[in-house]
């Protein structure tokens, strides 16, 4: 078994014309964040470092590095012009992942999510990514007694755990390295990997799957059609109330089931 601690740096859309109100460079919905750097370290079962990887990726969706991203990561458009394309680095990465059992370790869930999204965008083989993962940010936040609802940043966690650093954060390889150091410091047996579900996405699942509201107009129309006449306001309110009461099941009665149960 191996632990793969990885970190990504992304680029995103940027409108260099500055005329945002007139022209807004569309962020690609399929892939709003394009991976431009993968950094990873591999640990064995004893949490000893056995391999590492650090590669830049040539972007194709957003070829120009967003100044904000450049400022944050130090990665420039020039640097990426010489980098290899995604499919090539993904090949390398999946080779790097090969193990009888690889568990991904990430700092926050964003990286794992964007990795899946980028691989999907490039129509590459998603099944090569292990499904087991540990979100170390969550464990570290708990370990360091962060107040409920807050999660600790990587540099704060490194400082609080007295891990020697030279402030080289927001570099994929260094972030992966620091995350691995944190993992070694806070590791305990109760840190069980979870299975990543590619479909778990708040905005598309939870937030849009509200309880359906009642199409009252459609309901009344149906009654008018069935009775071939207009429905009065009083009837409307009765129909609506009955519909709601039906949902509560408060007048539903149990019918005894005499069938023998089969074990």
Residue 107 C-beta: closest distance to DNA, Å: 6
Q: Is 30 exposed, middle or buried (0-12, 13-18, 19+ CB in 10 A)?
A: exposed
**Cβ-proximal residues to 160 (8 Å cutoff; 6+ apart), any chain:** 144, 152
Is-contact 9 35, C-beta < 8 A?
yes
Instruction: Choose, by CB under 7 A, the member of 56, 102, 137, 158 that binds DNA.
Output: 137
Is-contact 8 115, C-beta < 8 A?
yes
Contact status: 237 vs DNA (CB under 7 A): no
Paired with 195 in beta bridges are: 132
Contact status: 113 vs DNA (CB under 7 A): yes
* 102-106 and 49-56 beta bridge pairing: unpaired
Instruction: Choose, by CB under 7 A, the member of 22, 82, 195, 211 that binds DNA.
Output: 211
Residue 255 C-beta: closest distance to DNA, Å: 17
- Site stretch for DNA (CB under 7 A), options 89-97, 159-167, 206-214, 226-234: 206-214
Residue 117 C-beta: closest distance to DNA, Å: 9
Count of residues near DNA by CB under 7 A: 45
Instruction: Say how far apart CA 232 and CA 150 lie, in whole Å.
Output: 54
Q: Is 165 exposed, middle or buried (0-12, 13-18, 19+ CB in 10 A)?
A: middle
Nearer to DNA, 37 or 118 (CB): 37
Contacts with DNA by CB under 7 A lie at: 7-10, 12, 20, 27, 32-33, 37, 66, 68-69, 72-73, 107-111, 113, 137-138, 148-154, 156, 170, 175, 201-203, 206-207, 210-211, 244, 247-250
């Amino acid at each position: 078994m191996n632990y793969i601690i990885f970190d990504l740096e992304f680029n995103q859309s940027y409108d260099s014309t500055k005329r945002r109100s007139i022209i807004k460079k569309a962020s690609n919905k399929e892939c709003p964040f394009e991976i431009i750097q993968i950094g990873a370290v591999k640990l064995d079962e004893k949490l000893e470092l056995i391999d590492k990887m650090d590669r830049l990726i040539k972007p194709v969706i957003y070829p120009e590095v967003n100044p904000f991203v450049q400022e944050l990561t130090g990665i420039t458009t020039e640097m990426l012009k010489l980098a290899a394309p995604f499919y090539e680095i993904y090949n390398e990465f999946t080779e790097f992942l090969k193990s009888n059992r690889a568990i991904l370790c990430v700092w926050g869930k964003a990286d794992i999510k964007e990795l899946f999204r980028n691989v999907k965008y490039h129509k590459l083989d998603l099944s090569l990514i292990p499904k087991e993962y540990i979100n170390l940010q969550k464990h570290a936040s708990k370990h360091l007694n962060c107040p409920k609802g807050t999660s600790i940043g990587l540099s704060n966690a490194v400082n609080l755990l007295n891990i020697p650093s030279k402030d080289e954060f927001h570099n994929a390889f260094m972030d992966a390295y620091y995350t691995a150091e944190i993992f070694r410091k806070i590791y305990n047996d109760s840190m069980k990997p979870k299975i990543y579900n590619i479909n778990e996405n708040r905005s598309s699942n939870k937030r849009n799957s509200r309880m359906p509201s009642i199409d009252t107009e459609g309901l009344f129309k149906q009654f008018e059609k069935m009775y071939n006449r207009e429905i009065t306001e009083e009837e409307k309110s009765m129909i609506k109330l009955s519909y709601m009461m039906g949902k509560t099941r408060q007048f539903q009665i149990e019918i005894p089931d005499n069938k023998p149960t089969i074990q």
